[in-house]
Amino acid sequence: MHNITLIPGDGIGPEVSFAVKEIIDSTGVSINWDIQEAGEKAFNTVGNPLPESVIESIRKNKIALKGPVTTPIGKGFRSINVALRKEFNLYANLRPVKKLPGIRTPFDHVDLVIVRENTEDLYSGIEKIIDNDHVEAIKMISREASRKIGLFAFDYARKNGRKKVTAVHKANILKYSDGLFLESVREIKGEFPDIEYEEIIIDNLCMQLVQRPEYFDVLVMPNLYGDIVSDLCAGLVGGLGLVPGANLGDHYSVFEAVHGSALDIAGKNLANPLALLQSAVLMLEHINETAAARSIKDAINWILSRKERLTPDLGGIGTTTSMTQDLVAYIRKNSVGTLN
Ligand code: NAI
């Protein structure tokens, strides 16, 4: 029996989180879910977007599956995602982006992994009002965190049969901060002679990603670039409804999709559960529940070949509920072709 914290979140969060819970439970894997509220809903009900009970639950269970949470723009409480990543030192944000069968995109081959540093950079949240017309924000880069994420990227590449790590930066302009990031990753590369290493300036990366995404393998980068490049890469493979993620530290892990709370479609039963479901697959693999992960992957591959059953973001006429029912039915029957 695994104890796992489930944070449904805001907007489409509860829709996709409970869908994914139902799908995971249908595999028969034994999970005791500890459901915890965080985000805007928690702020409105208990006055704290990250109640202590959420921290305690993750500290106890060590693993969480998290729906997206809303962060107010330009005012209000600070991101609880950033707070959670700092609290549990979830220094690596892993986002595999893969072209999936059945999804039509301009690219035949996209299979890359974004490794985003998750604890510093402009996300340090240190901003200062200088006067009415000037503000400053601190971009914090440390050798320790940069080395750690560099090591994570190379180690991930080696363990997962990847061939190349590309460090992404803007050290031509940010000579000290991105310069230190780059220097730290370079220090690591010597330990991995079997992995090819390249460096690329962030703006050039963006252009090349939309021209020849097949060229890239593992991409390692500071926090802000990782955030932006993740959404860009989601666009290469069919959108945010598909791309999973994992926030990993040495002792704790929080699995969540790349997408946010999607307020434009919240409550309409239109949210695609596959991004969070694929994050759950990463989670099941992480806790060595490989059979459950396999059967969910099989079900995902099956539903991707039935376009009409998918949610509208993928061109279908399905709903969150109908996709969940289809996936659960497929997993229960566990045989290809019983649903058509
Ligand atoms: P978003 O990712 O929520 O939505 C961007 C677009 O993608 C929208 O058109 C939305 O409908 C679509 N989309 C996203 N997920 C989808 C899904 N599963 N199925 C179908 N369509 C989907 O980004 P946005 O609108 O910039 O942010 C909304 C809120 O989410 C903000 O408060 C932001 O701070 C928060 N956010 C939270 C994250 C987290 O908790 N990990 C990550 C990113 C944003």
Instruction: Judge whether 203 counts as a catalytic residue.
Output: yes
Given a cut of 80, whether residue 60 has pLDDT beyond it is: yes
Per-residue confidence (pLDDT) for residue 335, from 0 to 100? 60
Report the alpha-carbon distance of residue 136 to residue 42 in Å, rounded.
Answer: 30
Q: What is the pLDDT of residues 96-141, one digit of tens each?
A: 999 999 898 999 999 999 999 999 999 988 899 999 999 999 999 9
Here the tokens at position 75 are 């005012």
Going along the chain from its start, the domains and CATH numbers come out as 1-90+242-340 (3.40.718.10), 106-236 (3.40.718.10)
In this structure, the residue with its CA closest to atom 23 of ligand 1 is 260
β partners of residue 4 = 33
Within its chain, how far is the Cα of 308 from the centroid?
26
In this structure, the residue with its CA closest to atom 10 of ligand 1 is 262
Instruction: Judge whether 197 counts as a catalytic residue.
Output: no
Give pTM, 2 decimals.
0.95
Here the tokens at position 255 are 């699995």
State the number of CA atoms in the 13 A half-sphere of 278 facing the CB: 21
Given a cut of 90, whether residue 159 has pLDDT beyond it is: yes
Per-residue confidence (pLDDT) for residue 48, from 0 to 100? 93
Asked if residue 242 lies in contact with residue 116, where contact means CB atoms within 8 angstroms, the answer is: no
Instruction: Judge whether 250 counts as a catalytic residue.
Output: no
Residue 183 CB: number of other CB atoms within 10 A?
14
Average pLDDT over residues 242-265: 97
Tabulate helix, strand, coil % of the chain (nearest 5).
45, 20, 40
What is the pLDDT of the chain when averaged over all its residues?
A: 95
Ligand 1 touching residue 265 (CB < 6 A): yes
Q: What is the pLDDT of residues 264-299, one digit of tens each?
A: 999 999 999 999 999 999 999 999 999 999 999 999
Report the alpha-carbon distance of residue 291 to residue 295 in Å, rounded.
Answer: 6
Report the alpha-carbon distance of residue 295 to residue 23 in Å, rounded.
Answer: 10
The full DSSP string for 6-56 is: EE--STTHHHHHHHHHHHHHHTT--EEEEE---SHHHHHHHS-SS-HHHHH
